[in-house]
Structure 1
Amino acid sequence: MSAQSETVWTKLSAIVGADFLRPASPADMIDGVLPQMVVEPGSANELARVLAHAKEVGLFVVPRGNGTKLDWGNPPHRADLILSTKRLNRVVEHAWGDMTATVEAGCTVADFQHVLAEHNQRLALDPLWPAQSTIGGILATNDSGALRIRFGSLRDLIIGITVALPDGTLAKSGGKVVKNVAGYDLPKLFTGSLGTLGVITEATFRLYPLPRATQTLCFTTSTSDEMSRLVLAIQDSTLVTTGLQIVVEETSAPRICVRLESVQAAIESQAQHLIKISAQTGAEQVDVSADEWNEPERLWQVAPGGIVCKISVLPTQLGQLCEGVRAALSPLHAKWKLIAQGFGVSLLRMEHADEKLLLDVLDFLHNLLKQLDGSVVVLSCPLEIKKQIDVWGDPGDTLPLMRRIKEQFDPSGTLNPGRFVRGI
């Protein structure tokens, strides 16, 4: 290590303490790129000072929570320093009377929910791997689950944010009250930005009560058209669902699961209404498994080597999407599984020994989604495939705006270089 490098790391050690700066190990590798060091600041101020120093000396920084989605995005052009939010893990305030809460970025979703549950409240969100995923991580990736059909996405739930910008500035936007429209909307801008504009240190959310009772009912249909009719009939009805999930595999009929939450009497009434709707559309009621709503996580609980995509279409196009996926993959004898949510966002896993065929299927999906005015993003795939594609797909006419925003917030390209759309 050169004297200049030693000076760089010595200054970082002085900011966070020697115990919280260490050399990176192979476990810290990001898509084949091994950073030099890992730093764990203990406060937002320390984190901001680390960023300012990194920018000053020309270090390229990758923010990280628990790393559950660190393989999402393009491979970094370069990574010198992993900036961990692991120690920023406090629930700062739970204003249960106002139904809001403020939490640091390194707190896991499960720990946050546990604190909120003490007052029978919750963050109405069900992202992947809540026991490991951090608040900052789900915001950076805009992760959500089936609850979105009732409560909206993270952009609907977040009402305030604190971010550390690459120059060391701590910027705040929003507040602790639900109605807050003053100022530039940083919460929505930073949600889904993959840590390319700044590092989220703290967020404030609107909360919802925990449900008194919950019931799930599941149905199967013989065709994608019947599935689509059932899904649209449910959404056109007076039913208030907190989950509407469709699972389709290469050898099985569509399976539709519906979650109802309310007081028990209301659930029983809605369940009877749902059964009538299903009968009118030709669906058959089937048994419910104990972990229906963990289906998305199981897409990653298989042998490595497949491709997992996130696909967005209109709810009215889910039937077309299912048929398009089946038409593309069935002739190849590929293994595949599609998990779609009633609001139009799906996860697709596909596996085949021939990677070239999978690349051809990706091209087909991009063309199909272009016709549907939808989008497809590759979340996980072998590195050999990732190096041949842009996982974000075609950004269309939004790319110039994205680049201008990046230049405004991170003109030196300090944060996550190359990992966002078209190498942003």
Structure 2
Amino acid sequence: MNIRRPNCRQPVKGGIQPMDGTETAFPVQQALIQIRENVGPGLTDAISVEASGSPYKIQTALTVYPENEEQTAKLVRLAAANDYGIVPQGGATKDAQGGVTGKADLLVSMKKMSGILHHSVSDLMVTALPGTTVAELQQALRREGQFLPIDPAWGEQSTIGGMIASNGSGPKRALYGSARDHLIASRVVLADGSVIRTGAKVVKNVAGYDMNKLFVGSMGTIGILTELTFKIRPLPVSSGMLVYCPGNGGAIRQLHETLLDSQLEPCAAELISSAVAGELFGKAEPALAILFEDVEASVSYQLEWVKSYAAGMGLKPLAELRGFEATEPVVERLRAVTPNSNEMPSGRLAAALKLLSSLTDVPGISELAAASAERAGLQLQFSGGLYTGISHAAVYGDWWQLEDVVQWMKQMYASLGELNGTAVAAFAPKQVRSSVASWGTERSDHGLMQGIKQQFDAANLFNRGRFVGGI
């Protein structure tokens, strides 16, 4: 059986383009034999390119499940020798993020490379395989009173390898930082099948270039992560959340600016759209959720400070939640504003943007997103980080509204540009990503990023066309 594929391998100015616009046949049976003989038996799953009808899923001719780093390296060498394109994949929750690629040949799933290799409780470090889900890792760490302070969405499905490759994080980034702040070492299979080690398994390391950060957010375009080491933290003792519906933009801005000028340290402070607030708290109005995590005395003091100031503005909390059992479901819902490729039905149209701006512009961006979605007749879900400047906006509609979704995204791109911000498509079907620039407007560092791709993957083996500018 042969599968038709675009003849697309050579990097050119402006991105990765087909060499001649023709298609070549991907030899599935030949590849199966090669993988069985050169990599190992029982690692493949043949899937027709047309079999997956979901516009939110990556389509390849063959799926391969390496079980260790050696098999991964052998597979990459085999692919390089035969000109097979590779798409690395973790939990597949972000299949609908990034540029639309040609039909790649091999989807390399890391699901079988799962588990914790080493956990140093006293040194606050953990080393795990890339297919380990975030939830699995957190559960194991929690037994020792510790946790990894990165909180991407869909933790039951998201893998730590995918989290690093996509630079995933959630609302708690406001206090704990991003993936770049916690990854201290990794092992990576490069495009020639060689394996490199980056960083060091020590909390403080000042030797050489910090290569770890090169792979964070690279979307699997320059290598396949096979091992990751993180610095971790003790679990916080207490948690508390206040939720307000200020009723107008002026009150939201006043409360926001006061919080920024204070000595408080929220774990998260999110501006929530009416639809999400109605679902969570029973009142469909824009809301502000402020979360604190620390020792009990600190959490109580900060909650009382906010309540006292808000009372002076004439505001009463819509909800006050205490304890992780009460606050964590709210945070999990806010993480999930951006949809999951595994769970979005093909019959429903959805698209989401990740919006980066100054902190003080977040309330205005929330209003822009709501107004433009309402004009287009689309349903909006929004969560904006008042301490991070990172907002997530998702719209839902019917497929006949495809052009409305495209125009909404383009309008948000333009609006963020006027604010010196950035918008990227965090989730969208292929039809939308074919019509808009998934990574937003042209970037000044595109040439540098092309140079890095050329240096690490000159043959364009990994995830072609997925990253910024078609890299």
Is the partner of 2:252 in helix, strand or coil?
helix
Find the counterpart in structure 1 of residue 166 from structure 2.
Answer: 141
**Which one of the candidate residues 295, 304, 310 is aligned to 2:333?**
295
Find the counterpart in structure 1 of residue 77 from structure 2.
Answer: 52
Find the counterpart in structure 1 of residue 390 from structure 2.
Answer: 345
Q: Matches of residues 178-257 of structure 1 in structure 2 within 5 Å?
A: 178-249=203-274, 252-257=284-289
Is the partner of 2:289 in helix, strand or coil?
strand
Find the counterpart in structure 2 of residue 357 from structure 1.
Answer: 404
Q: How many residues of Structure 1 are paired with residues of Structure 2 in the alignment? A: 424
Is the partner of 1:396 in helix, strand or coil?
coil
Q: Comparing 12-21 with 185-194, which one deviates more in the overlay?
A: 12-21
**Could you tell me how far 1:299 is from its partner in structure 2?**
5.0
Find the counterpart in structure 1 of residue 292 from structure 2.
Answer: 260
CA deviation string 1:233-270 (max 9, x = no partner): 22221212111111023794321111111222222222
Question: Which residue type is aligned with residue 335 of structure 1?
Answer: Q
CA deviation string 1:203-238 (max 9, x = no partner): 111111101111111111111232122123222212
CA deviation string 1:318-351 (max 9, x = no partner): 1221222233233334321211112111111123
Find the counterpart in structure 1 of residue 455 from structure 2.
Answer: 408
Task: Report percent identity of matched pairs.
Answer: 28
Is the partner of 1:347 in helix, strand or coil?
strand
Distance 1:6 1:355, change over 3 A: closer
Question: Which residue type is aligned with residue 403 of structure 2?
Answer: K
CA distance in 1, matches of 2:28, 2:407: 45
Find the counterpart in structure 2 of residue 326 from structure 1.
Answer: 370
Q: Comparing 246-255 with 123-132, which one deviates more in the overlay?
A: 246-255
CA deviation string 1:17-74 (max 9, x = no partner): 3211221253497767632211111111210111111011100001011211112112
Q: Matches of residues 107-126 of structure 1 in structure 2 within 5 Å?
A: 107-126=132-151
Find the counterpart in structure 1 of residue 317 from structure 2.
Answer: 285
CA distance in 2, matches of 1:110, 1:147: 16
Q: Comparing 343-352 with 157-166, which one deviates more in the overlay?
A: 343-352
Is the partner of 2:80 in helix, strand or coil?
helix
Is the partner of 1:18 in helix, strand or coil?
coil
Distance 1:423 1:298, change over 3 A: closer
**Could you tell me how far 1:298 is from its partner in structure 2?**
5.0
CA distance in 2, matches of 1:36, 1:302: 22
Gaps of 5+ in 2: 3-25, 279-283
Find the counterpart in structure 2 of residue 311 from structure 1.
Answer: 355
CA deviation string 1:70-103 (max 9, x = no partner): 1211221230001111111121111111111111
CA distance in 1, matches of 2:382, 2:27: 51
**Could you tell me how far 1:170 is from its partner in structure 2?**
0.6
Question: Which residue type is aligned with residue 298 of structure 2?
Answer: A
Distance 1:159 1:352, change over 3 A: same
Report the TM-score, using the length of structure 1 for normalisation: 0.94
RMSD, aligned CA: 2.2
**Could you tell me how far 1:387 is from its partner in structure 2?**
1.6
CA distance in 2, matches of 1:150, 1:82: 36
**Which one of the candidate residues 441, 446, 456 is aligned to 1:399?**
446
- Do the aligned residues in 1 keep the contact of 2:337 with 2:382 (CA within 8 Å)? no
Is the partner of 2:412 in helix, strand or coil?
helix
CA distance in 1, matches of 2:303, 2:206: 39
- Do the aligned residues in 1 keep the contact of 2:124 with 2:233 (CA within 8 Å)? yes
Find the counterpart in structure 1 of residue 32 from structure 2.
Answer: 9
Q: Comparing 377-386 with 211-220, which one deviates more in the overlay?
A: 377-386
CA distance in 2, matches of 1:236, 1:206: 30
Find the counterpart in structure 2 of residue 420 from structure 1.
Answer: 467
* Match status 1:23 vs 2:46: yes
CA deviation string 1:384-415 (max 9, x = no partner): 22221221111421111111111011100110
* Match status 1:167 vs 2:214: no
Question: Which residue type is aligned with residue 459 of structure 2?
Answer: S
- Do the aligned residues in 2 keep the contact of 1:224 with 1:254 (CA within 8 Å)? no
CA distance in 2, matches of 1:282, 1:214: 25
Is the partner of 1:130 in helix, strand or coil?
coil
CA distance in 2, matches of 1:87, 1:104: 9
Is the partner of 1:62 in helix, strand or coil?
strand
- Do the aligned residues in 2 keep the contact of 1:158 with 1:205 (CA within 8 Å)? yes
CA distance in 2, matches of 1:328, 1:145: 25
Distance 1:366 1:348, change over 3 A: same
- Do the aligned residues in 1 keep the contact of 2:60 with 2:107 (CA within 8 Å)? yes
**Could you tell me how far 1:104 is from its partner in structure 2?**
0.8
Report the TM-score, using the length of structure 2 for normalisation: 0.85
Distance 1:334 1:282, change over 3 A: farther
- Do the aligned residues in 1 keep the contact of 2:96 with 2:430 (CA within 8 Å)? no
CA distance in 1, matches of 2:313, 2:461: 54
